[in-house]
């Protein structure tokens, strides 16, 4: 399985990532993107983006809806991401640069249902994968069965090669499986508005109406569970 960093940052950073068992990560050049600001009032030109794989057996089990095992795994991985993000930002600051951790799954705008910055934007800019028809990041290594972490920085780094193409082809399994009818079947390209892919309000309503007992209606995952790129992980593990 091909895993590792996308780009060639400082050796100390590569070593640190290895010690934290970060399998898949890269550097996003965010020039021209409005990022959150730190206490100095300034944004950031770069971000570290990484993907933490979910338990594939748990993901396989949510094709008909979320389960307690999935809700627990979702919470566990998010907590791990937040822990790593704080550690990484402190490590970067210790080397003389600014850094800001972006919390996992944190909605800062409940009207548009967005966070302070899209983790998926940092991930595609870092070359980790593309956005599927289910509006989730798809990585070649783990499919969409991942959660994402982001730490902004002004450390001078070579950016990874951004993803610029979808590899979903004509597959519509996620669109057909969405119980909310929230997926529109659009094929992603950089700059495509989220609204062209997903009716986020329809998605949110369905989760809150049907799955409120799982992380206050923030969990579903059906579209990810049926994705062929995720199911390839199961096949590899069976070998």
Confidence of residue 9 (pLDDT cuts 50, 70, 90): low
pLDDT tens for residues 212-225?
A: 998 888 999 999 99
Give the pLDDT score at 113.
87
Give the pLDDT score at 1.
33
For range 52-79, the mean pLDDT: 96
For range 175-203, the mean pLDDT: 97
- Assess whether pLDDT exceeds 90 at residue 7: no
- Assess whether pLDDT exceeds 90 at residue 145: yes
Domain span at 224: 4-238
DSSP 43-108: --SEEEEEEEEPPHHHHHTTTTS--HHHHHHHHHHHHHHHHHHHHHHHHHHHTT--EEEEPTT--S
pLDDT tens for residues 66-85?
A: 999 999 999 999 999 999 99
Mean residue pLDDT across the chain = 92
> What's the CA gap between 110 and 202, in Å, rounded?
14
Reading the block at residue 64, the tokens are 């008909």
SS3 137: strand
Cβ atoms 151, 102 nearer than 8 A = yes
For range 54-75, the mean pLDDT: 96
> What's the CA gap between 71 and 75, in Å, rounded?
6
Give the pLDDT score at 239.
58
Of the candidates 224, 183, 222, the residue with the CA atom closest to the CA atom of residue 63: 222
- Assess whether pLDDT exceeds 70 at residue 2: no
pLDDT tens for residues 157-180?
A: 888 899 999 999 999 999 999 999
Strands 99-102 vs 146-153: parallel, antiparallel or unpaired: antiparallel
Domain count, the chain: 1
């Amino acid at each position: 399985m091909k895993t590792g960093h996308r780009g060639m940052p400082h050796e100390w950073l590569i070593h640190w990532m290895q010690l934290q068992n970060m399998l898949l990560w890269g550097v996003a050049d965010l020039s021209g993107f409005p990022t959150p600001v730190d206490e100095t009032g300034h944004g950031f030109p770069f971000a570290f983006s990484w993907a933490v794989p979910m338990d594939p057996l748990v993901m396989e089990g949510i094709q008909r809806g979320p389960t307690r095992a999935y809700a627990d795994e979702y919470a566990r991985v998010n907590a791990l991401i937040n822990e790593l993000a704080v550690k990484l930002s402190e490590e970067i600051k210790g080397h003389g640069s600014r850094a800001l951790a972006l919390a996992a799954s944190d909605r800062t705008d409940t009207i548009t249902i967005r966070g302070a910055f899209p983790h998926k934007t940092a991930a595609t800019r870092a070359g980790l994968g593309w956005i599927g028809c289910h509006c989730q990041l798809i990585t070649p290594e783990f499919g969409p069965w991942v959660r994402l972490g982001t730490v902004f920085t002004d450390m001078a780094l070579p950016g990874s090669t951004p993803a610029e193409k979808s590899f979903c082809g004509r597959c519509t399994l996620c669109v057909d499986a969405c119980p909310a009818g929230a997926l529109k079947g659009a094929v992603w390209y950089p700059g495509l508005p989220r609204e062209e892919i997903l009716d986020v309000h329809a998605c949110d309503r369905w989760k809150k109406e049907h799955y409120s007992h799982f992380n206050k209606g923030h969990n579903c995952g059906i579209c990810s569970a049926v994705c062929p790129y995720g199911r390839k992980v199961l096949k590899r593990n069976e070998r």
